[in-house]
Amino acid sequence: MFKTCSRCGMIYNERTGHKCGNPKRDYKRDYNNASEERKKIQRFRWSKEWQHTRDKIKARDKFMCAYCWYHDKYVSFGEQLEVHHIEPLSKAWSKRTHENNLITLCKAHHRMADNGEIDRKTLKNLVPPPKFL
């Protein structure tokens, strides 16, 4: 029987086994060795302020990936949705909860945005304008 390694994705025979070259991450060590800037960002991501803002942005975008909807004309149901900072926290800390700097993306498009495969200008154009009464 074949299995897939959860760390590296390699398919291997269960009988012969597999020694993964990717050791399990030590998150506590990573946190302790992180810079103060990185620790501040990590604390923010677990804060009530971020959780509330994240839920508000997902509701604003109707719980759909904005890039899938506007670019691919496709609605991805059941995909894990994430809220993306168009301008990264490390460069625009003051905009961390601004609605015009946040957009809902599926996991695949979030990864593409983080890697620069989707440019910031495109994402900015997808953010809906604020509604005024």
Extended beta strands in the chain, E state: 2-4, 11-13, 81-85, 102-106
Whole-prediction pTM value?
0.70
Distances (CA, A) of 82 to 21, 32, 64: 29, 26, 10
User: For each of the chain's 133 residues, which pLDDT tens digit applies?
Assistant: 777 776 676 777 878 877 777 666 666 665 666 688 888 888 898 899 999 999 999 999 999 999 998 887 888 766 689 999 999 988 999 999 999 999 999 999 999 999 999 999 999 999 987 665 4
- How is the chain split into domains, by residue range? 1-33, 47-126
